[in-house]
């Protein structure tokens, strides 16, 4: 029987005011897979260097963000940001017991999977990613595999009690197929949680961000570049909700968070969150935009660097009160 999981309602859509001043045969199968991935071939570990950043060679054409230590630090800080935003919660689904089998899609450095496994010792957590940037030493109930989420999943059907996916939108071409695979491999009664942000627009509530803002030029150029790469940067909250419903999920709960970039908000928690996101943005503008804009958007390295630096400097000034929308969706596979 799947654990009783109830979505925790959490929304933040009010305008942001600026501050004027047990043994399982499946475990053996997983361990066998993991032991094979621990002796990775040189080709899987190969990287290329471009525009002063390191990228995973096998991810080229599938994922345009870097894989170097600077990016790993940004990913870990982003995880801390989401924990702060969700008041220390790793998930907006509430469990009355540890979900037996958990999948973390696009696990990155593996920090979410490791912390979930620590909080839920009765869970078996598998983290999947293209790039081998996860730690070698992990908890006994956490495993990492290298795989492409857009290929056919090899897990058993109806296997996972809970599937977690956060910020993989820059690497998913076919969201319909991706969510259908989630549905296929989720247990009846199990839950999925999808968290994404907007990839083609940024918001402002007080008119301080003009139409010709470097922020808007950056995000729209990045969105167009992602589209040329084959991704779908135009999905919004209603689009993700519709795709989950089309895949067969029910009881879909959708949550919107406004994420200010910079410490300009008046409200203390938003101010603290904005300061963290300001720090993330110092390398985040480059991580998200540089490779995709130069390889697919037609920009020279110099032009892309100029656009990125303008955005970083503008965040530091705090004169344009820009924020990002982050969406969380929790959905259930019917019994």
| Residue ranges of domains in the chain | 52-333
Tally of CB atoms within 10 A around 220: 14
**Cα R_g (the chain), whole angstroms:** 20
Quick one: three-class SS letters along 149-197? CCCCCCCCCCCEEEEEEECCHHHCCCHHHHHHHHHHHEEEEEEEEEEEE
Task: Tell me how far apart the alpha carbons of residues 140 and 125 are, in angstroms, rounded to a whole number.
Answer: 10
Which residues, 6 or more positions from 268, have their beta carbon under 8 angstroms from its beta carbon?
none
Half-sphere exposure of 122 (CA within 13 A, CB side): 8
Buried b (16+ CB within 10 A) or exposed e, 139-150: eebbbbbbbebb
pLDDT class of 38 with cuts at 50, 70, 90: very low
Number of Cβ atoms within 10 Å of the Cβ of 256: 13
Closest CA to 183 of 329, 331, 328, 1: 331
Q: What pLDDT does residue 331 have?
A: 98
Q: Residue 96: pLDDT above 80? A: yes
Could you give the percent of the chain with pLDDT greater than 70?
81
* DSSP letter (8 states) at residue 18: B
Of the pLDDT bands very low, low, confident and very high (cuts 50, 70, 90), residue 115 is very high
pLDDT tens digits for range 45-86: 666 666 776 675 555 555 566 778 988 999 999 999 999 999
Across-strand partners of 12? 257
Is there a contact between 250 and 329 (Cβ–Cβ < 8 Å)? no
Residue 93 has pLDDT above 60, yes or no: yes
Helix (H, G, I), strand (E, B) or coil at 137: coil
Q: How far is Cα 305 from Cα 293, in angstroms, rounded to an integer?
A: 10
Assign 31 a pLDDT band (cuts: 50, 70, 90): very low
Yes or no: is domain 52-333 CATH 3.20.20.70?
Answer: no
């Amino acid at each position: 029987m799947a654990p009783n999981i109830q979505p925790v309602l959490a929304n933040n859509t009010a305008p942001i005011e600026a501050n004027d001043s047990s043994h399982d045969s499946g475990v053996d199968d997983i361990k066998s897979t993991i032991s094979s991935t621990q002796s990775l071939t040189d080709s899987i570990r190969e990287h290329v260097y471009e525009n002063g950043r390191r990228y995973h060679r096998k991810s080229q054409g599938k994922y345009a963000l870097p894989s170097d230590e600077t990016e790993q630090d940004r990913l870990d800080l982003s995880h801390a940001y989401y924990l702060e935003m969700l008041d220390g919660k790793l998930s907006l689904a509430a469990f009355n017991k540890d979900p037996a089998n958990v999948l973390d899609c696009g696990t990155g450095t593996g920090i979410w999977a490791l912390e979930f496994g620590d909080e839920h010792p009765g869970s078996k957590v598998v983290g999947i990613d293209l790039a081998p940037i996860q730690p070698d030493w992990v908890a006994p109930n956490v495993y990492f595999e290298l795989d492409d989420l857009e290929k056919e999943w090899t897990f058993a059907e109806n296997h996972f009690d809970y599937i977690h996916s956060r910020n993989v939108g820059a690497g998913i071409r076919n969201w319909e197929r991706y969510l259908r695979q989630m549905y296929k491999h989720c247990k009846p009664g199990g839950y999925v949680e999808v968290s994404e942000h907007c990839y083609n627009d940024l918001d402002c509530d007080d008119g301080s961000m003009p139409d010709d803002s470097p922020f808007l030029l950056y995000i729209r150029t990045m969105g167009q570049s992602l589209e040329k790469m084959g991704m779908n940067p135009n999905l919004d909250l209603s689009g993700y909700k519709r795709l989950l419903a089309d895949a067969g999920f029910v009881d879909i709960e959708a949550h919107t968070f406004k994420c200010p970039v910079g410490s300009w908000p008046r409200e203390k928690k938003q101010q603290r969150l904005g300061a963290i996101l300001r720090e993330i943005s110092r390398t985040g503008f480059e991580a998200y935009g540089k490779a995709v804009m130069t390889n697919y958007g037609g920009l020279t390295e110099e032009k892309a660097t100029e656009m990125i630096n303008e955005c970083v400097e503008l965040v530091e000034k705090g004169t344009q009160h820009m924020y990002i929308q982050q969406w969380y969706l929790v959905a259930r596979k019917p019994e």
